[in-house]
Amino acid sequence: MHAKETHQTPKSHKLIIDEVARFLASDAAEALCISGDWGVGKTHAWNQAIKLCIENGSIREKRYSYVSAFGLNSLDALKLAVVENINFLVASSDSDEAQAAAKAGNFAISTIAKGRGFLHAIPVAGKILSESGSILFSTIRDQIVCVDDLERRGSGLSIENVLGLVSFLKEERNCKIVMLLNEEHLGDETRQFRINFEKAFDIHLRFKPSAKDSAEIAIRGQDDIGCTLRSHCETLNLSNIRVIKKIEHFARLIEPILYNLPNEILKQALHTITLYCWIKYQPTEAPSREFILEKRASHFFDLSDILNKSSDSAPDETNDKWHGILDAYGFAQVDAFDELIIASIDDGFFNQLLVRDGAERHAVEIKGSIDLGHFKSAWRRYKSSFDEDEELLVEEMKSAVQRTPSLSADDLQSAVRLFKSLGREVEALELIAVFISNNSEKGENFWDTDEVFFFSRIVDPHIAEAFANKKAEVAKELKLVDVLLRIGRTRSCGSTDEVFLSTQSSENFHDVFLSESGERLRDVIRGALFFQRVVNAGPEQRKICEVAEDALRSIGSTSNLNRHRAASWLGHPNSTL
């Protein structure tokens, strides 16, 4: 039997709840204002406090109205909302008769409110009901009234009128009044609110929970994802509970998509989701989308700003602030996988196939960087000692070349030259053969020595010969299915393949798609839609995608099931084919 999971109330919320409980337990008719930023949990804390007081029987009032001022355009509308939202308070420990009476009373008020909404549409009845509003409001006395979202009121409802109503209900109707608001967003009437504040309110609580407390309230899960997200939110100092819940929403959506991939992929996804949800949902408090996509990269790799800046130029304090926050958060720059996550959050959902595909490609890139570390380690052995360890060095270098598919042509040449200089030509030729085998699915351009050697002007003759033979072999016969498989598996497309694809018809793509299944089909479609992921795709590249997409739409038109299958590659499953 599992123990029941319990959650302690964070300290900042407990302080507010305790103060509200004292206010509710008092016999005095008073007015309380709880102010704080949007999303920090003001309403949540208030609801917790009143629920607690109802259950322990410390409230003398038996009726309670909760009203949101959002969109209310007049004082009459606010008064009517107070009437229509009356609830009779009853504790779970009260008698069955008391609970039944409260339930009946709440149902009756709800029915009346719905009836009023219907009758207001009838001109004569609506006029009569409007005139009856003041009579109904006269029943409001000896109860609790909570007004939320004052800063979101309609333009016809003035702050002065609201504060006047607060004073009236407190002093003339013996009511307890609670106001929940974001004082910084009251608009032009902020000054009026502050001038008259002391006349209306007896108690003012400023709610400023810590990021740690907000994360603990918003994310209750104690699993690895919950703990990771809370840590990220605390690092970014996020206290908006609604934003934090958005973060968890997207994190839980992407988790099953990344199943069985290296843990580094999920870690990066959670890191990026937290950052971008902050940027998207709190744009006035976070760096912009453009900042992390453009300026952040230049912070690391582009020296032009520094070189072109005169010594007496004023520093950009805003940019420096964001760079400092992102440095502390451990976010360097946006990569292709990050871009995919960002676009998905903007869309509001994750396309499972596209995200999985991008994640798998990113996993290959990460593995490549890890494998490349073994090759660099072998070179460190060569450069960092005078030990007599040639055999060990050679074996490490051979092993590194074998296990590093992402090895560059320049890296291969450096190893081949070292082996030849040590009199190990046979083993040098073995390195070349291993490199050719590791890259057997690469296209024609990969084997062009004028294209792939960036640092070596003179290419080793054995490498040049092997590359020329492989290039001729690849160029000998191009088949659409082979080209698409190669692009889909290597996530790269050379100019020869691009020219070849541009000559293909929608019918050709259609036939290839229908001829494959399983993982081969996924690789083929990835290859066909490769240029979807190219940000600045040219006209010919876009045309290739359009032709391939037409083929998918044609297949999708054959059945409802195939429509969903094809649409998963084209966009949202419910998109029009």
Whether residue 542 lies inside any domain: the answer is: yes
Confidence of residue 134 (pLDDT cuts 50, 70, 90): low
What mean pLDDT do residues 152-181 have?
92
For residue 403, which phi and psi values (nearest 5 degrees)? -100, 5
As a whole number of angstroms, the distance between CA 55 and CA 471 comes to: 80
Domain extent at residue 492: 480-570
Residue 305: its pLDDT value, please? Answer: 47
Whether residue 369 lies inside any domain: the answer is: no
Residues 134 and 273 in one domain: no
Whether residue 5 lies inside any domain: the answer is: no
Residue 129: its pLDDT value, please? Answer: 46
Whether residue 363 lies inside any domain: the answer is: no
Q: Residue 19 maps to which CATH number? A: 3.40.50.300
Of 205, 246, 213, the residue nearest 230 (C-alpha): 213
Burial degree of 233 (CB within 10 A; 0-12, 13-18, 19+) = buried
Residues 468 and 503 in one domain: no
> Would you state the structure tokens that stand for residue 171, as one six-digit string?
């002093």
Residues 203 and 228 in one domain: no
Residues 197 and 138 in one domain: yes
Confidence of residue 575 (pLDDT cuts 50, 70, 90): very low
Of 163, 172, 137, 178, the residue nearest 26 (C-alpha): 178
pLDDT at 73 over 80: yes
Using the structure block, give the residue that is written with the tokens 């490199």: 435
Residues 239 and 317 in one domain: yes
Residues 314 and 180 in one domain: no
Contacts of 11 (CB under 8 A, 6+ apart): 213
Max intra-chain CA distance, the chain: 106
> Would you state the structure tokens that stand for residue 177, as one six-digit string?
């009044």
CA dihedral sign of residues 533, 358, 350, 228: negative
What pLDDT, in 10s, does the model give residues 509-535?
999 999 988 889 999 999 999 988 777
Residues 238 and 285 in one domain: yes
Residue 452: its pLDDT value, please? Answer: 65
Q: Which of 176, 209, 242 is the last residue of a domain?
A: 209
Q: Check residue 10 and report its DSSP letter.
A: P
Burial degree of 113 (CB within 10 A; 0-12, 13-18, 19+) = middle
What pTM was estimated for this model as a whole?
Answer: 0.60
Mean pLDDT of the chain: 82
CA dihedral 371, 372, 377, 383 (to 10 degrees): 160
What mean pLDDT do residues 238-262 have?
94
What pLDDT, in 10s, does the model give residues 55-72?
888 888 888 999 999 999
As a whole number of angstroms, the distance between CA 201 and CA 486 comes to: 72
Confidence of residue 409 (pLDDT cuts 50, 70, 90): confident
Residues 91 and 197 in one domain: yes
Q: Cβ(199)–Cβ(51) under 8 Å?
A: no
Residues 290 and 176 in one domain: no
For residue 234, which phi and psi values (nearest 5 degrees)? -70, -40
As a whole number of angstroms, the distance between CA 224 and CA 278 comes to: 21
Of 351, 347, 268, 335, the residue nearest 300 (C-alpha): 335
> Would you state the structure tokens that stand for residue 201, as one six-digit string?
């309110």
Of 406, 254, 274, 261, the residue nearest 331 (C-alpha): 274
Contacts of 442 (CB under 8 A, 6+ apart): 474, 486, 490, 492
Residues 119 and 172 in one domain: yes
Q: Which of 153, 175, 209 is the last residue of a domain?
A: 209
Q: Cβ(509)–Cβ(548) under 8 Å?
A: yes
Whether residue 118 lies inside any domain: the answer is: yes
Whether residue 372 lies inside any domain: the answer is: no
Q: Which of 183, 209, 235 is the last residue of a domain?
A: 209
Tell me how many domains the chain contains: 4
Residue 188: its pLDDT value, please? Answer: 79
Residue 125: its pLDDT value, please? Answer: 42
Whether residue 412 lies inside any domain: the answer is: yes
Amino acid sitting at position 433: A
Cα–Cα distance list, 513 to 130, 432, 502, 506, 507 (Å): 66, 35, 17, 11, 10
Q: Cβ(236)–Cβ(325) under 8 Å?
A: yes
490 or 297, greater pLDDT: 490
Residues 391 and 288 in one domain: no
Buried b / exposed e along 8-36 (16+ C-beta atoms within 10 A): ebbebbebbbebbbebbeeeebbbbbbbb
Whether residue 399 lies inside any domain: the answer is: yes
What pLDDT, in 10s, does the model give residues 413-467?
888 998 999 999 999 999 999 999 888 877 777 787 776 675 556 788 998 898 8
As a whole number of angstroms, the distance between CA 109 and CA 84 comes to: 6
Buried b / exposed e along 178-216 (16+ C-beta atoms within 10 A): bbbbbbeebeebeeebeebbeebbeeebebebebbbbbb
Residues 343 and 280 in one domain: yes
